[in-house]
Every structure is written in C-alpha cells, then in structure tokens.
Amino acid sequence: MTSVAAIDRFATSTKRAFVAAIVIALCLFALQLVTIEGMQSWLDVSRQSAARVPTFLVRISLIICAVAAAFVFVTSLSFYKRNKVAVAPWLFLAVGLVLFMIYVIVPIFQSISYSFTRWDGLYDINGVWTGEWVGLHNYKLLFQDPNFYTSLKNNLLWLLLFMLAVPLGLFIALFLNQTVTGIRMYKSLFFFPFVISQVVVGLIFTWAYNPEFGLLSEIWSWFFCETKTNIVGNLTRVCSPEPPSILGDEDTATFGIIAAGLWPQIAYCMILYLTGLNNISSDQIEAGRLDGAKGWKMLRHVILPQLKPATFIAIVVTVIGALRSFDMIATMTQGGPYGSSNVLAYYMYDQAVGEGVGRYGYGSAIATVLFLIMLVYISYFLWRMYQDEVEAR
Amino acid sequence: MKFNLKHSIASVVAATFMSSAALASDLIITFDDLNPDKKAAYEAAVEAFKAANPDINVTANNGDREAHKDSIRNALQNDAPDVITWYPGNRMGPFVDAGLFMDISDLWSSDPNLADKFNAIKPTMSRDGKQWGVPYSYYQWGVYYRKDIYDKLGLSEPATWDELLGNCDKLKEAGVTPFTIGTKFLWTAAGVFDYLNLRTNGYDVHNDLTAGNIKYTDDRIRATFANWEEMLDRCTFVGTHATMSWQDAIAPFANGDAAMYVMGNFSVGQYKDAGLTDEQIDFFQFPEITEGLPRAEEAPADAFFIPANAKNVENAKKFLAFVATPEVQGEWNKTIGQLPPNSDAEINSDDKFIVEGMATLSTAAGLAQFYDRDAPAAMASEGMKGFQQFMLDPSKLDEILENLDKVQEEVYK
C-alpha cells in the first residue's frame, strides 16, 4: 500500500515538475516574442508612440509567471524534498538575491569598470558602446581637481555637524519626557519636521534664507534697513550692511544646508530617544536615587547607559542621513555657488548626468571613491552587528 | 476544404498586410515645451500639417523641457520618434557623433526654402559639413532697460562702451543699481560673458574659444575679463544675484531699483506680467567695445531633428520641409513672440521688440548660439561656474582661468 502511494506521489510530483518546466520554457520563449512592433499590431495601437505600448507590463508578467513556475518546479524535485530545511531559506531568498545582484551588486562593478574609461553615456545606432579605455586617467584628474577636495571637505562637514542632531535630540527628548496635559501634542509638534519631505524642508529654508524677501532678511530689516522711495516712486528697502546671502556665499552655503537638514534629523533622534526613555527601568532610577545620584550624575551613569541601543541607532541613522544629503543640496543650491556646496554624491551626479554634461567615466571615478569611503563605515557597522549577535548567543 | 481553409487564412493575412501597407503612413513627433504659447504654436502647426497631409497619421507628443534633456538619450537609442526637438550648435554634437541623428543635407539642398532662406542660421545647423536639423524659431539677446528711468535721468541708449559706463555712473548717483541679473542657474552670467567677448574680440574668437582652440588664459580672453571687471566695478549688478533665478531678478527691475538686464527676448512676456508696459521698457544692442569690430549677436535657435532610428523618414522629411515654409515659420513665431529663421517669413510688426530684434539679427556679421550651446556641455558647466565665481569675487580670476584651462584640455580630447 505505502509503496503504491509513494509511487503515486512520485508520479504526480514528476508530472508537476514536467508541467512547471514547460511553463517556464513557454514564458521564456514568449518573452523573446514581445516586441514593441508586435504589441502594437496585436493591440492595434500602431498610432501610439512606442513609449505608451505596454511592452514592459507584458514582459514583467511573463517573468513573474516564469519565476512562479520555477518555484513549483524546484519544490516538486525529490532533491528538494530530501533537503527541505537546508534549501527552503535559499529558495525564499532567491528572488531578493537575484534582484539585489541585478540592481546593486552588478552596477557597482559596472560603475567601477566605467571609471577607467572616457564615455559620454551614449551607445551608437547599432548599440555599440562609444567610450574608450583610459586607465587611471580619471583618478589622476580627480586628485588634482579642486572641486573634488571641496566636495570631500563638505562631506566631512556634513558628517561632523550632522552629529549635533544626536545630543540635541536627546536634550529635547529629556525635556519632553514629562507628564503634563497635552504633552502628546507637543511631542507631535516637535516630530512634525521629520514627516515633511526633504524637498519641502529644502524649499522652506531656501525661502527663509532669501536675502530679498526671506524671513531672515525680514528680521534683518528691523535692525539695519530703512524704507525709501526710489526713482520711479516705488518703495524700496535700503540696508546697511546688506542682509547676508547665506546660500549665495561660498563660506556659508554648506552650513545653511546642514542647518536645514538638522531640523528634521533632530526630530528623528528625539523620537528614538523618547521610545528609549519609555523603556528605562524605574528600579535602577530608584536605586540610583537612594545612592544619592541626581542631575548630571543620574543622566551620565544611570540613564545614558540604558539608552545605549537608542544612541547606537541614532548615530547610524544620522550618518546615513549625512551621506544622503543629496536631495537637500539638489533643492537648495544645486551645489552652488560655483560648486562650493557640493558633496561627493552631488558632484558625481553633476558630472555624469546633470545638464547633459555626460562625463560618465569621471562621474564613475567619483562614485568609486565615495564607495570606498562608505565601505569603511559599512564594514564597521556590519562588524558591530556581527559582534552583537555573537554576544547575544 | 482543408486546402481552401489554409488558402483563405493566407489571403486574409496578405490582405491585412497590404491594407496596412497602404495606410501605414505614420509620423510620430516629440516636442519639448509645455508653456502655453509654445504648446499652442506647436499644436497649430501640427494641425495645419495634418490638414495638408490627410493620409498621414500624426502622433504629436509633448513634454517638459528639462525632462526632455534627460529622456532624449533614451528616446534616440531605443524608442525613437520620427521627429524630435533639440538644440543646434555643439549641443547636437554628441548625438551627431554617435550617429543618432540622421543626416538631412539632401533636404537642405533640394528644399527651396532650406536651400535659400536659411543662410544666416545654416552654419549653426551644420557639423562635419552636413546639415542635421531644421530650426523653427530663434530670438535675439541684448540689453532690456527701463526707458522711464533713462528718460528721467536724461540718458540715451549707449552705442559705445564709454557711454554705457557713463550711464552706469549716473544711474548709481541717482541710487539705481545699473544691472539686474540672477546667476543661481549660471547661464545668465554666460550671456554677459558672451557679449563682452563678442564685443571685445569678435565672432571668431568666440567660436575658437568654444571649439577649444584658444586657452582661457589667452590674453584676448583676459582682455574680456578685464572689461567685465570694469563693468562689475562701474556698472554694479544687484548684490544677491547668486541666490536668484532669472525670473527672481525681474523683481528689482520691475520695481525700478535696477535699470538694465542683459537677457534674451523670451523675457519680455515676464516683464509685462510683472506690471511693466511697452512705454516703460525698451531694448538696445549691447554697445561696441573694440572699435570697428564686425557686430556679432547671440541668437539661440530651437530645431527639429530626425533620429537615425526613425521609422517613417519620408514623412519626417515632409514635416521638416513643412516647418521650413515661410507661412508656418511666421505663424509659429507670431504666437510665441520670437523670430522666424526663414528670411521670407512675416513677423509681428506690432511688437517693437520683435521688429528691433529682426533688424538686429538680419544685419549681424555672425550669429552665436550661446556659450552653453556652442561649447560642449562638460566645458560649459565648469565655464559658467567660473563666470559666477568671477562675478562674486573678481580677485580669483587667475585661479579660475587656470582651472578652466585644465578642464578644456580634458574635455576637447
């Protein structure tokens, strides 16, 4: 009886594998057939422009179909049944891993390889790559490029000054960690800037800094300006000294952007610390109080050690935030004036894609250097995580 | 029966192909301006083309101008339309060199309009001795000024450099900032540089510089910068220009705090939106600096190109020839308030800026595109950063020029 059932099971699972294999083959075959012209004539939309034909949709559904069939195929193999525990996690990881390979790992190596070439980002009419191999030339240029050092310096400034978000966030969290009526509302108000999009924060600060009509120049005019009538009879403002042009001055532009970036980042750190403070054990505070600790000593020796996990995460997200400064710079100054508020990420974009400049090789060299710098931080972070896991075991 | 079925299927298939061959006359056009007047002019021209060619199925796409600068790369390499807009001069260089634009020299020699009426703009549309596109519009640059302020101070349009500087002195005495400008997006500074260079050294030096044959540390270019320094000193620009866009910079001009603006003719609509009238504003040509130098002007053009991947080339050429006719050129540019490149086309004679622009450009010794269109993009981007830096701190001149030389050496390899 059992052997018959086993044979039966074997037969069904072989059949399943067979069907699944056929589905995979069909999907992959159909994938070859999907072309813009074919879709146009099939759907009878030849008048539409190529971009509006749903080729991508059809292709992606075929791929998903093939992946699902592959899943069925693998699970019906007897090899899989024997090694279920070892194979199953990899099966689930497979899709993610493949996507990660295609969209993250492979491009990293592609980008590194482009950094040894001079290329304007174009393929010619036959799809042939138009660049040329130049060896280490881009790196030689890079290390002589004053803009590169400006960007590097600004990256460091971002990392250092952005760290202010951690103590400031802690301070606000301690301040808000009380029970008075409406405290939730105050907390929400303090958290509010983190909810706004970075682009909006950038725009608000750009307007606030504007020396003609911004909030700062408005305040400035209370002290240093007077209103006069100009030659055609309109009112005009005459200031002495002139209001500062924060984003228009190479010495202050970066600081102006960092200050704008700090606003939401402080809110983020604050919320991390607030949740941390919720979990502080009252026994230890009690015990500390009995031993005569209060004020700074209490904070330093009793509360902060318990906030260590929150501090770690706050530092990690702040470092990431500092390296993500791209969107702030893009909305506020576009790296200006004359490149003085660039960071490496923005400079890379500017050289490769921005305004059709098209120095893809040079941009890739910047990207590679940025990658190497980040690698130091990422390695430390991974090592740290690994250590924590080892300790936890 | 079986044979018959097969036969009938075959005949149906054949019929489908034949009928589609008879009808398969498509034309896909990609345009890049959503501003109301630009969009209207483009759509009107497409409608007129459809009416003249009822057998062609025209698909007219339109998109944002800035986004088009990115998407054109993909469009030319993968899903090419039959006609696409782009900029002439060096901006078309990379696409021409990669073989992504189609050579239409045959159209330029056979079409009566293109052969005779586009002589002024033809060099701009040419690369390697061949023509690559058909311009539909261009416009003049120059100095827009507040006529009411000039009249109040008894000033007149300057014809020479000294007269301009003299006007500036008087404006400053009266508490008016002579020039407004907004250099946040850099290219406005390039307009000032181009004019100073064209007037100091002339058209050939402009072309040699943007073609990479002259170094930035060359004495002639230094002379241009010396004039610019004099201009910064005596004809002050508004102080906060590095944080303003060109539109922001209109505010002090409209309020009467600044009296002049080196700009392109597309800005006139914005002055009027800001409340200025034709009586309050006027236009003069950037004054002469080096005596006796043939007068060259900036006149950036917009043009249509045929991608090398286009599927309906005959229809595309038909459309380009249609765009080149004086009627279409006239209508199009009346709608958008610019100048038609076809010398036979009618212009809007009620618009004093258009009339003056036509007079200026038709008598010019040479037409420059613009620094960032004549120079390759990689050079232009660094160059314009340098111009902005110079305007903020002229003492950095040597450093800036040496850096530009380095970039130039790299870019023109």
Query: Which chain A residue's Cα is nearest to B384?
Result: A338
Give the total residue count for chain A.
Answer: 393
Q: B138 with B302: CB under 8 angstroms?
A: yes
Determine, for residues B30 and A49 on separate chains, whether the beta-carbon distance falls below 8 Å: yes
The one-digit pLDDT tens for each residue of chain B (413 residues) are 444 554 544 444 444 444 444 455 889 999 998 888 889 999 999 999 999 999 999 989 998 887 888 788 888 887 789 999 999 888 888 899 889 999 999 999 999 999 988 888 888 888 889 999 999 999 999 999 999 999 999 999 999 999 999 999 999 999 899 999 999 888 999 999 999 999 999 999 998 999 899 999 999 999 999 999 999 999 989 888 888 889 889 999 999 999 999 999 988 888 998 999 999 999 999 999 999 999 999 999 999 999 998 989 999 999 999 999 999 999 999 988 899 998 888 888 888 999 999 888 888 888 888 998 888 888 998 999 999 999 999 999 999 999 999 999 988 87
Determine, for residues B98 and A123 on separate chains, whether the beta-carbon distance falls below 8 Å: yes
- Best mutation target among A40, A41, A48, A49 (most B Cβ atoms within 10 Å) is A49
* Residue type at B64 in one-letter notation: D
Selecting from A122, A212, A230 the residue whose C-beta is nearest the C-beta of B175 gives A230
Whether the pLDDT of residue A385 is over 80: the answer is yes
Q: Is B286 helix (H, G, I), strand (E, B) or coil?
A: coil
**Tokens at residue A105, please?**
């790992």
Strand partners, B260: B145, B179
Determine, for residues A130 and B251 on separate chains, whether the beta-carbon distance falls below 8 Å: no
Domains annotated for chain B, with CATH where assigned, are 24-139+301-365 (3.40.190.10), 141-298+376-411 (3.40.190.10)
Tell me the shortest Cα–Cα distance from B240 to chain A, in angstroms. 6
Name every chain A residue with its beta carbon within 8 A of the beta carbon of B26: 46-47
Query: Which chain A residue's Cα is nearest to B100?
Result: A125
Number of C-alpha atoms within 13 angstroms, CB side, residue B347?
23
Tell me the shortest Cα–Cα distance from B30 to chain A, in angstroms. 9
Orientation of helix B203-210 relative to helix B219-234, angle to 10°: 110
Q: Give the ipTM of the model, two decimals please.
A: 0.78
Name every chain B residue with its beta carbon within 8 A of the beta carbon of A49: 28, 30, 59, 61, 79, 81
Tell me the shortest Cα–Cα distance from A383 to chain B, in angstroms. 40
Tell me the shortest Cα–Cα distance from B110 to chain A, in angstroms. 26
Chain-centroid distance of CA A16 in Å reads: 43
The residue written with tokens 């194979």 in the block is A87
Mean pLDDT of all residues belonging to chain A: 86
DSSP state, A244? P
Question: Rounded to whole angstroms, how far apart are CA atoms B370 and B353?
Answer: 20
User: A215-274: per-residue pLDDT in tens?
Assistant: 998 899 888 888 888 888 888 888 888 888 889 888 999 999 999 999 999 999 999 999
Question: Rounded to whole angstroms, how far apart are CA atoms B196 and B202?
Answer: 9
Give A317-354 as a DSSP string: HHHHHHHTTHHHHHHHTTT-STTTT--HHHHHHHHHTG
Q: Which residues in chain A (107-146) have CB-CB distances under 8 A to chain B?
A: 118, 120-125, 127, 130, 141, 144, 146
Whether the pLDDT of residue A390 is over 90: the answer is no
A287 touches chain B (CB under 8 A): no
**Tokens at residue A84, please?**
């279920």
Q: Which residues contact B50 (CB under 8 A, 6 or more apart)?
A: B56, B58
pLDDT at A388: 83
Determine, for residues B99 and A125 on separate chains, whether the beta-carbon distance falls below 8 Å: yes
